[in-house]
């Protein structure tokens, strides 16, 4: 499990650890991890050109000490000090190791020297505000196009929310210390982090505010049939989806559900759609008792009535697509809502751009408003529980932004609900498997939604043994 903590949580853990370590030991650990990450990126240290952008905080100190280590390994290291209050001991260490230090007023004149091969962003630490000051923007403009390694977080992002407000660094690699921060997992800031490398500092940390499942976590949660299992004991999921106008939505929702993770799939909908489903999925049967319902995909005018019927049944429920427009008031806690940003914007009465700028805030707000688990689709999908817990999905591929992919996801989550997972686990595991299946289906290239559904069994087979 990747666990992300707030700045306050991290600082409290660091203070506790520093009380048991020699002075400066924690910064030296961080700097060493940073330096070796830079070497990994460059392939070597000797003769390589490294530029440090250094602000006034401890992240600047980390960058300076890492620069000293790189200089001792034979790198040509130069630091641009963007503040009059740069870390004094770190600056002295870099100079002693043969590195060069240039203060901000002289940067423009000095920038004509050898072009660096990598820039280390030590401008603003985890305590900084979103956005960048003019001097930082000036320095970054001079090195545009050069790979950037960010220290802890890219400067200019909001660490605790993952939001962006003004200019910020876009890193190729982010080297963080002790634990992930929210900005590493939650968009839009996560998209500015590049590849995130975690340096373990041995911090004792409380429960995280955001998590991201990893393959071993998913393997432990995926329902697996008992030796004496039969189709009813494995769970039965019902699909109320599709219409004469959108029959494909029903087919794809059924395909996501009929991926082998549940004992039986039932379909309830227009007879013309049901006939097509029976041809494509002969194992799917008609109406009857279920352990979970999936409602809404392509439902059109039928969605409101289908949602009301499913709610009355009193079983766990996935509400998707057209049915989301008919959600009013609080729902049972075993419900999963699966909006994209536009659908959630309509539900909450705000602009789509507002949702996209602050997805964590609005996913949590929707979860508490409706009393249900809310899965907010995106590059990094968020799964928010009404009690405040949040998981982030980091699997997937940009090719997954394709028509019908959400229908497959809804069916898959419904199957996991019927198989016995809680709404929070079903949404989290379903989203993870959906992204993993898309990666397998696309193999780095284009894909369509039906291929994602077909690849779900392979994604499950590829999990480590629980």
Show the domains of the chain with their CATH numbers: 2-211 (3.40.50.10260), 215-461 (3.40.1190.20)
Give a three-class secondary structure readout of 119-138: EEEECCCCCCCCCCCHHHHH
Distance CA 150, CA 124 (A): 10
Q: What is the mean pLDDT of residues 49-67?
A: 96
What is the mean pLDDT of the segment spanning 271-286? 97
Read off the pTM: 0.95
Q: For residue 80, give both structure tokens.
A: 């641009």
Q: Any idea which of 108-117, 236-245, 316-325, 365-374 has the lowest mean pLDDT?
A: 108-117
- Please determine, for residue 229, whether its predicted confidence score (pLDDT) is greater than 70: yes
Residue 466's pLDDT band (boundaries 50, 70, 90)? low
Stretch 119-148: mean pLDDT, rounded? Answer: 93
Chain segment 293-315, per-residue pLDDT in tens: 999 999 999 999 999 999 999 99
What pLDDT score does 332 carry?
Answer: 87
315 backbone dihedrals φ, ψ, rounded to 5°? -105, 165
Residue 110 has pLDDT above 50, yes or no: no
DSSP summary character for residue 265: E
Residues ≥6 apart with Cβ < 8 Å to 233: 226, 263
What's the whole-number mean pLDDT along residues 221-233? 96
Give the separation between CA 42 and CA 147, rounded to whole angstroms: 10
What is the pLDDT, as a whole number, of residue 48? 97
Report the share of the chain in percent with pLDDT over 70: 98
Give CA–CA dist 121/17, Å, rounded. 25
Rounded-to-integer distance, Cα 465 and Cα 203, Å: 29
User: 351 in helix, strand or coil?
Assistant: coil
- pLDDT of 112 > 70? The answer is no
Angle, helices 423-442 vs 405-418, to 10°: value is 140
Q: Supply the pLDDT for residue 130.
A: 84
pLDDT at residue 105, rounded to an integer = 60
Q: pLDDT digits over 166-211, tens only?
A: 999 999 999 999 999 999 999 999 999 999 999 999 999 999 999 9
Q: What is the pLDDT of residue 107?
A: 57
Mean pLDDT to the nearest integer, 30-47: 97
pLDDT at 113: 55
Computed over every residue of the chain, the mean pLDDT equals 95
Contacts of 385 (CB under 8 A, 6+ apart): 367, 373, 424
Q: Is the pLDDT of residue 355 over 70?
A: yes
Element (H or E) spanning 425, and its range? helix 423-442
Whether residue 109 has pLDDT greater than 50: no
Neighbours of 99 (CB within 10 A): 22
For the cut 80, the answer to whether the pLDDT of residue 35 exceeds it is yes
Please check whether residue 412 is in contact with residue 364, taking contact to mean a CB–CB distance below 8 angstroms: no
* pLDDT score, position 162: 97
Model pLDDT for residues 368-394, shown as the tens digit of each residue: 999 999 999 999 999 999 999 999 999
Mean of pLDDT values over 227-256: 96
Q: Which among 302, 406, 255, 436 is positioned nearest to 344, based on CA atoms?
A: 406
Predicted local confidence at residue 333, as pLDDT: 83
């Amino acid at each position: 499990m990747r666990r992300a903590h707030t700045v306050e949580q991290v600082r409290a853990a660091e203070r506790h650890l520093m009380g048991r370590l020699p002075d400066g030991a924690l910064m030296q650990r961080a700097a060493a991890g940073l330096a070796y990450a830079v070497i990994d990126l460059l392939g070597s240290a000797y003769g390589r050109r490294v530029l440090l952008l250094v602000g006034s905080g401890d992240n600047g100190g980390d960058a300076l000490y890492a620069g000293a280590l790189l200089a001792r390994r034979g790198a040509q290291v130069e630091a641009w000090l963007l503040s009059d209050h740069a870390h004094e001991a770190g600056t002295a260490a870099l100079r002693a190791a043969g590195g060069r230090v240039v203060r901000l007023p002289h940067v423009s004149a000095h920038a004509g020297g050898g072009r660096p091969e990598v820039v280390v962003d030590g401008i603003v630490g985890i305590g900084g505000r979103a956005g960048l000051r003019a001097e930082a923007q000036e320095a970054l403009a001079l090195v545009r196009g050069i790979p950037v390694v960010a220290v802890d977080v890219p400067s200019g992002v909001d660490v605790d929310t993952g939001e962006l407000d003004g200019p910020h660094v876009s890193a190729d690699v982010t080297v963080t210390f002790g634990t992930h921060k929210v900005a590493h997992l939650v968009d839009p800031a996560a998209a500015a982090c590049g590849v995130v490398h975690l340096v373990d500092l041995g911090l004792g940390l409380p429960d995280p505010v955001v998590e991201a499942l990893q393959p071993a976590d998913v393997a432990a949660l995926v329902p697996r049939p008992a030796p004496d299992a039969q189709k009813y004991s494995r769970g039965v999921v019902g699909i109320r989806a599709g219409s004469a106008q959108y029959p494909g939505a029903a087919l794809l929702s059924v395909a996501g559900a009929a991926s082998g993770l549940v004992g039986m799939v039932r379909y309830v909908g227009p007879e013309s759609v049901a006939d097509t489903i029976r041809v494509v999925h002969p194992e799917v049967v008609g109406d009857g008792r279920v352990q979970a319902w999936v409602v809404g995909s392509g439902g059109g005018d039928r969605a409101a009535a289908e949602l009301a019927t499913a709610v009355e049944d009193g079983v766990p429920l996935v509400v998707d697509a057209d049915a989301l427009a008919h959600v009013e008031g609080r729902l049972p806690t075993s419900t999963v809502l699966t909006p994209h940003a536009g659908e959630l914007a309509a539900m909450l009465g705000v602009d789509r751009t507002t949702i996209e700028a602050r997805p964590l805030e609005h996913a949590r707000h929707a979860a508490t408003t409706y009393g249900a688990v809310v899965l907010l689709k995106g590059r990094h999908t968020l799964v928010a529980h009404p009690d405040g817990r949040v998981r982030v999905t980091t699997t997937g591929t940009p090719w997954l932004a394709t028509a019908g992919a959400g229908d497959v996801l809804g069916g898959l989550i419904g199957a996991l609900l019927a198989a016995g997972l809680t709404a929070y686990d079903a949404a989290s595991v379903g989203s993870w498997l959906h992204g993993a299946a898309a990666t397998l289906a696309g193999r780095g290239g284009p894909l369509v939604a039906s291929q994602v559904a077909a690849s779900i069994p392979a994604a499950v087979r590829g999990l480590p043994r629980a």
